[in-house]
Amino acid sequence: MNKDYKGSCLCGACTYKFSGEVNDYGYCHCIGCRKASGSAHSANAGVPASSFHLKDENNFLREYQSSPGTHRFFCSNCGSPLFSRIDESPDLVRIRLGTLDTSLNKKCARHTFVSEKAPWHDMADQIPKFNNKFQ
């Protein structure tokens, strides 16, 4: 049975919903994710694009192509990063888990791009670590 999920930006102007399973998620430590999140990493999970529905009545959603083929979407009113899309995976939307309003009962599966991690961040957990993207 598919679960229904809802999420939103900080100001609530951009909302989304989807149903289905959330893929295993990871903490990405690449420079792009660190800059986009303003933190040591971002927590991202892929969801089926076919079930992802966005509501943006004020036209606040903006897109930024951070690198060739990677599109990041955020609320231009409050600045919240909401999701990304990668051209090579058009069937997935990668949501930022911090924007979920529905609880998610999964544990992080991996750290990726640890070769780019912030030097001030200590990864003392037992989660598998990969220097580049998960293979």
Question: Tell me, what's the pLDDT at 135?
Answer: 47
Q: Report domain 4-116's class.
A: mainly beta
**Does pTM top 0.85 for this prediction?**
yes
pLDDT at 71: 95
Please give the Cα distance from 62 to 94 (Å, whole number). 15
DSSP for 43-69, please give it: EEEEEEGGG-EEE-TT--EEEEEEETT
pLDDT tens, position by position, for the chain (135 residues)?
Answer: 578 999 999 999 999 999 988 888 989 998 888 988 889 999 999 999 999 999 999 999 999 998 899 999 999 999 999 999 999 999 999 999 999 999 998 898 899 999 999 999 988 888 988 997 654
Distance CA 60, CA 78 (A): 9
Can you tell me the distance from the alpha carbon of 98 to that of 16, in angstroms, rounded to the nearest whole number?
13
Q: What is the pLDDT of residue 1?
A: 56
Calpha distance 96→43 (Å, rounded): 6
pLDDT of residue 123: 87
Neighbours of 31 (CB within 10 A): 12
